[in-house]
Amino acid sequence: MHGDDYRSARAPLRRSWVADLHPRRVGGRFVAASAIALVFLASCADEERMVGQQARHVFVTTVTDAGVTLDQAADPKQVVYVLLQAIRDDFDAGADVGKRERAFDRQLAVSAPDTIFRRASQANLGRDEFIRQAVWHWAPTLGHYQRDFPVDLASARTRIRVEDRPGKGYDTGQSGEHWAYAFLELADPSDLPEATVIAQFQLVREAGYWRVVQLGFAKSPRRFPSAPVAPS
**Domain at 202, CATH number:** 3.10.450
Where does 43-188 have alpha helices with state H?
76-92, 97-109, 113-118, 127-136, 138-142, 153-159
Domain-located, residue 116: yes
Cα(214)–Cα(130) distance, integer angstroms: 13
| Predicted pLDDT of residue 167 | 60
Quickly count: other Cβ atoms within 10 Å of residue 112's Cβ: 25
Domain-located, residue 226: no
Domain-located, residue 223: no
How confident is the model over 31-78, as pLDDT tens digits? 333 333 333 333 343 333 344 455 679 999 999 999 999 999 999 999
The one-letter code for the residue type at 136 is W
216 strand-pairing partners: 200
Domain-located, residue 19: yes
How confident is the model over 105-118, as pLDDT tens digits? 999 999 999 999 98
Domain-located, residue 148: yes
Cα(112)–Cα(176) distance, integer angstroms: 16
Residue 166: C-alpha distances to residues 4, 81, 163 (Å): 39, 21, 10
Can you point out the beta strands (E) in 174-224?
A: 179-186, 197-206, 209-217
- Closest to 10 measured CA to CA, from 139, 130, 131: 139
What's the predicted TM-score (pTM) here?
0.74
Residue 146: which domain range? 3-217
Q: Provide the CB-side half-sphere exposure for 203 (13 A, CA).
A: 26
Alpha carbon 76 to its chain's center: 13
Domain-located, residue 183: yes
Domain-located, residue 196: yes
Cβ 214 vs Cβ 75: under 8 Å = no
- Closest to 107 measured CA to CA, from 130, 92, 126, 90: 90
Selection from 26-35, 119-128, 200-209 with the highest mean pLDDT: 200-209
Mean local confidence (pLDDT), 144-153:
97
Number of domains in the chain: 1
Domain-located, residue 14: yes
